Amino acid sequence: MTGLGGNAGSGPRIGLVHALYGSIVPIERAFRASWPEATLASLYDQSLYLEFDRAGRTTAYIERRIETLLRLSVEAGSEAILFTGSLFGAPVRAVAADLPVPVLTAYEAMIEDAFATAARPRLGLVATVQGTIDMMRADIESHARDNATTVEVDCRLAEGAMEALQAGDQARHDALVADTASALAGADAILLGQFSMAPVAERLGQAGIGPVLTSPGSAVAKLRRLLG
């Protein structure tokens, strides 16, 4: 099912496309904190993760749904679009080139911010889905090659956290992510690989662990630079 919702501000309209319900609150909080004037218009399609879980990969159905969602967001008047699902960067990029507005994948801005922390950064990456780790690591290494630098990436899977989130147990999800990220203290930056993990950043900061980068925080900052 696809749902449409959002908040009306005085600034540019930003289309948000979600594949996981847990991504919605973190990105809306990030906008309220850093760019409250933006007008947000969200589309949510749970079938994307259901299909990915069933097939174990991106399918033609997923590609069609993503194209439909992005084009609907443009038709709704979005001046830029952010796709918050971390597993779907490739199909989003495939459609983005044909759209008349900027389109950001879930974590591209966070990767850019991570490389700004050091010339040859040592990064810690935490995710709750192995597919996200695999895709993000590949994109991080590609970014390093494109910018003629090197990178070290220590990847950790927060086992059981996604299952806890899908069961509605936010507290257990956050605790598992925080415990996993704590082992990465000393990295130039710790990347929380999914939008649903963003609330854990404050908890890590209070424990003196960091710096911590989140997909919502980096994405809002980049969108504001593009349109603000």
Q: Domain-by-domain residue ranges, the chain?
A: 2-106+217-227, 108-214
2-106+217-227 placed in CATH 3.40.50.300: no
Average pLDDT of the segment spanning 175-192? 96
What's the pLDDT at 6?
52
- 134: pLDDT strictly greater than 70: yes
Per the DSSP assignment, residues forming a β-bridge with 156 are 126
108-214 placed in CATH 3.40.50.1860: yes
- 38: pLDDT strictly greater than 70: yes
- 33: pLDDT strictly greater than 80: yes
Question: Average pLDDT of the chain?
Answer: 93
Helical (H) or strand (E) element with 33: helix 24-34
Evaluate whether 187 touches 124 at the Cβ level (below 8 Å). Answer: yes
Rounded to an integer, what distance in angstroms lies between the CA atom of residue 127 and that of residue 146? 24
What's the pLDDT at 102?
97
CB contact set of 187 (below 8 Å; sequence gap of 6+): 122, 123, 124, 154
Evaluate whether 107 touches 193 at the Cβ level (below 8 Å). Answer: yes
DSSP 8-class letter at 189: E
DSSP symbols for 50-114 = HHHHHHSS--HHHHHHHHHHHHHHHHTT-SEEEE--GGGHHHHHHHHTTSSS-EE-SSHHHHHHH
Which pLDDT tens digit goes with each residue over 58-83? 999 999 999 999 999 999 999 999 99
Which pLDDT tens digit goes with each residue over 79-111? 999 999 989 999 999 999 999 999 999 999 999
% of the chain surpassing 90 pLDDT: 88
CB contact set of 12 (below 8 Å; sequence gap of 6+): 38, 39, 79, 80, 227, 228
Global pTM value: 0.89
